[in-house]
């Protein structure tokens, strides 16, 4: 595997996680998204700001997310991200790719 391919898969995995959180939870700000991923993975995955915010920006530019200024649950002003119809289609594609990849790895681990 080339380094670019690995980075593409990692980026795709981050996209998948962000899209899934927003599809299930509704609009959220960046810190809440990262916290939800950390919480949902039993504190295994920690998304750093240096990865999260560029991903959110890229996904907003791709029209998978819409960002609006709003107020958080602690009454602070923040950008809230919401999944768009295009983002829902992307989520479906990413979930299919993830399932294919994990099934292939599982088969290799069992039969290689």
26-81 pLDDT, tens digit per residue, is: 999 999 999 999 999 998 889 999 999 999 999 999 999 999 999 988 899 999 99
Q: Is the dihedral of CA 34, 35, 38, 39 positive or negative?
A: negative
Q: CATH number for the 3-111 domain, one of 3.10.180.10, 3.40.50.12780, 1.10.10.10, 3.30.70.3270?
A: 1.10.10.10
> Residue 96 — pLDDT band, cuts 50, 70, 90?
very high
Rg (CA), the chain: 15
Q: Any idea where the domains of the chain sit in the sequence?
A: 3-111
User: For the purposes of burial, counting CB atoms within 10 Å of the CB of 29, is it exposed (0-12), middle (13-18) or buried (19 or more)?
Assistant: buried
């Amino acid at each position: 595997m080339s380094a670019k391919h690995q980075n593409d898969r990692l980026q795709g995995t981050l996209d998948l996680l962000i899209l899934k959180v927003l599809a299930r939870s509704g609009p959220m700000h960046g810190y809440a998204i990262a916290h939800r991923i950390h919480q949902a993975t039993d504190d295994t995955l920690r998304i750093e700001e240096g990865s999260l915010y560029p991903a959110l920006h890229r996904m907003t530019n791709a029209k998978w997310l819409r960002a609006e200024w709003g107020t958080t649950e602690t009454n602070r002003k923040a950008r809230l991200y919401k999944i768009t119809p295009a983002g829902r289609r992307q989520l479906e594609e990413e979930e299919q790719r993830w399932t294919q990849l994990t099934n292939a790895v599982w088969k290799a681990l069992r039969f290689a």
